[in-house]
Structure 1
Amino acid sequence: MLKECDVETFLASREALDLLIDARSPKEFSESCIVGAQNFYALSDAQHQEVGTIYKQRSRNEAKILGARYICENVAADLQTIAKHYPIGSKIGIYCARGGLRSSSIAIILSHIGYQVYRLEGGYKRYRAYVLTFFEQLPHRRFIVLGGKTGCGKTELLKRLSPSLDIEGFANHLGSSFGAVCGAQPSQKMFENSLFNALYSLKPDQSIFVEAESKRLGKVTIPARVYQNIQTGVRVEITAPFEMRTKRILHYYQNVTPEFFYRAMAIIAPYIRKSVKEAIIDAYERRDLQSVVTFLLRDYYDLVYQKPLHVSFFFDNANEASCIASLLNLRETL
């Protein structure tokens, strides 16, 4: 079976799929993809470039023949892997860049073998257009926005609240000067895809928990309408004892490299006193991370934190279970 699907039909079938195949080249896939896809490419990076060059500069027919040969070779190599993990009869979704030969070639082979194949019309390009339109017309407006000073446990609360959006998780960034401590960030497109994937699964009339964020987290930017709708949500200020905040932040700083530390210090240097900067660096070089975190919270983060003019509720997170109960009760009353 081979079914051609528009974006909405394709997305509606996602939950039923056993495998989602991205048939684009590894380079295209690594930059961004539909969340949950696996890369069984029709053409490798080198093959994709070679075929494209021949198509543009020499002969379309020659390019098609060479591309078909490469696709057959690559599919032959992947079939054993697919069959090992996904028995014949499984439901497989597939897409390529524009819904062309790369996905159709693999889709035809898989369908003839006996797989139930759903192919995305227009490919990844049409999916991305749908994502951007979705953000522009975002129907979700009921947000419970958790604010508060660094280390008060907002991220941990979100993980135990439902429904919620972990925007920092999608961005792989904590939203602060030391926020890149989590490692490499996704591309802007992949960040948007992850955010879309989460929002698309939620009903617009649901109250969604989310953390108050700056518009930009590291190298990625929250889509304008998403940011605007969050800004108009119900603001809840989360507080926590200083000692608990220090312990929480210390966990993230355990594996900070010297290169990362000094780069982050250079960023915040204009906003702290020279004596504080020297004390932080001295503590770090003595591997006294407890003092590093204490200095950063007390003499930088707490000083630059700007509480919004309007806060609807204040909840203390000294007891997480109690704080969560209060937040869930708030959700039921909105």
Structure 2
Amino acid sequence: MSKLFDDFKSIVLNNTPLIDVRAPVEFKKGAFLNAVNLPIMSDEERHEVGICYKNKGNAKAIELGHELVSGEIKEQRVQAWLSFMDANPDTLLYCFRGGQRSRIAQEWIGERGREIVRLKGGYKAFRSYLLDELENSYNHFKPLLLGGRTGSGKTIELKKMQNAIDLEGLANHRGSSFGQKITQQTTQIDFENNMIYKIVQKAEEGFKTLVFEDEGKHVGSVFMPESFIEILPKAPLVILETPMDERIEITLNEYVVDAQKTYEGAEYVDAFEAWQLDIKSAMERIKRRLGDQRYREVSAIFEDALGEQKRSGSYEKYKEWVEYLLREYYDPMYDYQIQKRSHLVAFRGDAKEVHEYIKSIV
């Protein structure tokens, strides 16, 4: 008899590894944390079976599926599942609705003398559970926002807090005009799934206050869930105040030093060229807000810094470029936004003071 499992909360709390046997095109649209895509059918095979289902019905579609995934192809896919199970003994299995694909995969694994439990209702049921939790999550905690000017080190400090959730990290974005990373952002579905994983886990740990970075409605290409758009802008705001010289160093490391290393680790013919083109594209995106004169000034400063790095390998001249961006672009914009929400500011202080304040109210 097929073994089924529907204690979705335990999957979240235990970070249970999952085998997703849906086709790659389905997986890319959205999946779950700790899930690996080991499909029972490729995109092409799934497409053929789908056409057969529409034209000839379910029985013929199943028959075609078994024909397409047989012999060496079947062996390779079963072996991939078994290898993952060897590395992750508590693995669970799912397809879209917990129906034929995961049941067949379960049977094939059983033929090899192994057992695996599949999710009752599959992806659809687990996703519904997560959406319900997301919709009702604000009943389980009080939100607190950590704000501060660009380069103040908000993300650095968030990572030191046990009751914090790093939304930029979940979205794989740095949350600014220059925040795009070379790795693709998470999908909207993945962002929501990852977010509720963290919230359920933090609630289980007993935290009644959760700290989020002060974000807008969007984090790059993903957007905040509707329920959070309603509650987060009204949450108390703690402002992290950091001296300009420290902000310059933090931003320099993020935009230049660490960013260039990331490009070097990717498959680019000229990593340095790819990085500077992306920076120039980012400056082009903020040109309208900067205005023509300031855009020309910041571009000239950047070109000088590029030339210096090419000549000597030094990052020093980028500090002038970073400071210009902070003073002329980021700070006026941030100060304007904070002024409109000044009634929500509960505390201001440096990193040590902010940590002590947050600990005092948890």
Fold similarity call, TM over 0.5: yes
Change in CA separation of 1:194 and 1:40 when aligned onto 2, cut-off 3 Å? same
Give 2:208's aligned residue.
Answer: 206
Residues of 2 paired with 1:258 and 1:62: CA distance?
A: 55
* TM-score, length of structure 2 as denominator length: 0.82
Residues of 2 paired with 1:119 and 1:269: CA distance?
A: 52
Q: Does 1:309 align with 2:342?
A: yes
Listed as ranges, the gaps of 5+ residues in structure 2 are 261-273, 307-316
**Aligned partners of 1:172 and 1:186 also within 8 Å:** yes
Matches within 5 A, 1:89-108: 90-108=89-107
Residues of 2 paired with 1:184 and 1:27: CA distance?
A: 16
Give 1:192's aligned residue.
Answer: 192
Change in CA separation of 1:51 and 1:161 when aligned onto 2, cut-off 3 Å? same
Deviations 1:129-148 (A, max 9, x none): 22222222222331221001
* TM-score, length of structure 1 as denominator length: 0.88
Q: How far apart are residue 72 of structure 1 and its match?
A: 4.7
**Aligned partners of 1:164 and 1:208 also within 8 Å:** yes
Moved more, 96-105 or 66-75: 66-75
Residues of 2 paired with 1:60 and 1:83: CA distance?
A: 28
**Aligned partners of 1:269 and 1:277 also within 8 Å:** yes
Deviations 1:273-307 (A, max 9, x none): 43221111112222142222111101000011121
Residues of 1 paired with 2:4 and 2:16: CA distance?
A: 17
Over the matched positions of the two proteins, sequence identity in percent amounts to: 30
Change in CA separation of 1:224 and 1:30 when aligned onto 2, cut-off 3 Å? same
Give 2:359's aligned residue.
Answer: 331
Q: How far apart are residue 258 of structure 1 and its match?
A: 3.5
Residues of 1 paired with 2:87 and 2:324: CA distance?
A: 60
Matches within 5 A, 1:1-334: 2-6=2-6, 9-13=7-11, 19-73=17-71, 74-84=73-83, 86-87=85-86, 90-111=89-110, 113-138=112-137, 139-181=139-181, 183-203=183-203, 206-254=208-256, 255=260, 257-286=275-304, 287=306, 288-305=317-334, 306-307=337-338, 308-310=341-343, 311-317=345-351, 322-323=352-353, 325-327=355-357, 330-334=358-362
AA in 2 matched with 1:283 = I
AA in 1 matched with 2:28 = S
Change in CA separation of 1:94 and 1:263 when aligned onto 2, cut-off 3 Å? same
Structure (1 or 2) with the greater helix fraction: 2
Q: How far apart are residue 116 of structure 1 and its match?
A: 4.4
Q: How far apart are residue 13 of structure 1 and its match?
A: 4.2
Deviations 1:177-197 (A, max 9, x none): 112145421111111111111
Change in CA separation of 1:283 and 1:89 when aligned onto 2, cut-off 3 Å? closer
Listed as ranges, the gaps of 5+ residues in structure 1 are none
**Aligned partners of 1:250 and 1:289 also within 8 Å:** yes
